Amino acid sequence: MDLDTIRAMDAADPLREFRERFELPEGVVYLDGNSLGALPRVTAARMTDVVSREWGQDLIRSWNSNHWIEAPRRLGSKIARLIGAKDHEVVAADSTSINVFKALSAAVQLRPGRSIILSETGNFPTDAYMMQGLAHFSGGRLTQKLLPADEIPAALNDQVAVLLLTQTHYKTGRLHDMAALTRAAHAAGALVIWDLSHSAGALPVDLNGCEADFAVGCGYKYLNGGPGAPAFLFCAERHHAHVFPALSGWFGHAAPFAFDDAYEPGAGIDRFQCGTPGILGMAALECGLDLMLEADMAAIRLKSQALGDLFIALIEARLTGFELASPRDAARRGSQVSICHKHGYAIMQALIERGVIGDFRAPDILRFGFTPLYTRYEDVWLAIEALAEIMQTGEWREDRFATRSAVT
């Protein structure tokens, strides 16, 4: 495949006009939207308005006059449209880690006679750490169990309270079969929590179609909400009335401004709010959500798969010494491709210096994320060209590329 053919693919791309609505530095090929999404052009102006007018001029009145108080539910309803949920089943709040704890503690309440909280080895660490913390906090009532992914179905028994899985694996991009695993867990009487951090905004998700119980996810990857953007939590409507939140903060109270001494859970999904929402982060995230909702998710998924397929084809045609870590079958892969090399960190740093930005995950994974609203097919071509030159010249061997930064 030549560059002219690839440019023709970009010209025919139904999503091509979205690229101009993001701030993308000249000369940079950005393939790390699976870690931090690019900045929508409208966000800076919106943030200026929130800071200068809503906060600067309207001050505390903005909780009412500018509808700050409604932001967690308003954004939650927009996220719901991207993940196959009802408007009143999702709230934007806190971080993914905190929402994992909320969902886990809620799930074990709903299965009081069961003691095992189950996940897979190699899941994103914060999920496992929250499980470990909850098990420790329970004083021995709960036990964390981590198993290889292919052993999960057989481990679902009458002692498993909840299964926590990430739909799209953060290192490899491998997709779990959400519907099949949810059915298997329910058949064993267990509940399921899905971490959608690498799925929401990247591929079609149908939580209610799969009868999922809980889900969490972040706002700063494919939803383009900015660094540290608010996360989200989904709880199926059928569970709302039966959960007393372990993190029972005042914003989750039925009447937060009554200032009662005793906590009374808010109605429905509101009970999963905790403290005062971060309005600046909410404002930035809403810009990303509004942009995402303009696009057709089916078109996003088709382009994502095509970008990944092109990356794999070009790397295998041009390079040796790398091992594919992601599924070759696009239907089993999220919106990233990962490759392995024992000197992966140094190679990625050399790429970044050339303006091709991906990232590295220990011990040997180079990750390349494809965000179809702004990633071009030509970007994939340019990335492989740069990688081929780096390997041919050996420039990655320079000592400076082996020095580890705090964030990899």
Query: Which of the residues are catalytic?
Result: 124, 195, 220-221, 367
**Cβ neighbours for 366, distance < 8 A, ≥ 6 positions apart:** 322, 338, 339, 340, 341, 344, 347, 348, 358, 359, 360
| Chain-centroid distance, C-alpha 115 | 28
Under 8 Å between Cβ of 47 and 280: yes
DSSP helix/strand/coil, 227: coil
> How far is 326 from 334, CA to CA, in rounded Å?
9
Place of tokens 């808010």: 266
Segments of 53-105 assigned E as strands: 90-92
Integer angstrom CA distances of residue 111 from 19, 154, 163, 192:
46, 19, 12, 11
Tell which residue, 198, 168, 197, 171, has the closest CA to residue 362. 171
Q: Is 307 exposed, middle or buried (0-12, 13-18, 19+ CB in 10 A)?
A: buried
**Cβ neighbours for 394, distance < 8 A, ≥ 6 positions apart:** none
| Chain-centroid distance, C-alpha 228 | 12
Q: How far apart are the first and last CA of the chain?
A: 32
**Cβ neighbours for 1, distance < 8 A, ≥ 6 positions apart:** 310, 313, 314
Q: What is the DSSP letter of 144?
A: E
Under 8 Å between Cβ of 234 and 214: yes
Helix, strand and coil content of the chain, in percent to the nearest 5, comes to 45, 15, 40
> How far is 116 from 152, CA to CA, in rounded Å?
13
CB count in 10 Å sphere of residue 399: 7
